Structure 1
């Protein structure tokens, strides 16, 4: 297992100063939404999906995928994301709670700080 720790992600992000970060636990995955700044002071967002993957020999590794979202694309990205979620809500309303949260996702506004755990600790329970 990787010694990856949420608070020490230098292996993932060598460019940009991290200004703000939100980890989102979602089943067997963790999504990290990180706001960063370029040397010129522009902001951009990185979205990282991280999940535990079992290898054929029985060992585990952390599989990560990342996208960079630049300020000029924030609005278009948000609009597109909202459009596809609204489509799913219209076509499959049974997948959502009355408050709009997805069924099985827990409280819509859970802010107990539980998202700030190490990736290793998160994946131990899976």
Structure 2
């Protein structure tokens, strides 16, 4: 049950944003075994004054096309699965909407299962 927050510069088309949603869901499905219909994602858009990043941190040449992706998920995945997710997300977002690998920034936040309520005031995974 990942929850995905995507932050990017404003001005992209609906098709561009949909390609990001689709690519990330596919990467999660393939590498984290996320089930069908388990799609909880949001995109926030920011103007130039509200979007800041290190253009060359760690020797990576980022551009204004940079997309921040923060995924909150259960702490049940292996290091190999996490690496596979990062790699697959970069590959798929490179295909559509055409992001450069340097502009795919992913942060994984892991939580324990009891930290979710998916509705009805219940802790469904506890």
Q: TM-score, normalised by structure 1?
A: 0.25
Q: TM-score, normalised by structure 2?
A: 0.25
Larger helix proportion, structure 1 or 2?
A: 2
Larger strand proportion, structure 1 or 2?
A: 1
Give the number of the structure with larger relative contact order, counting CA–CA contacts within 8 Å between residues 6 or more apart: 2
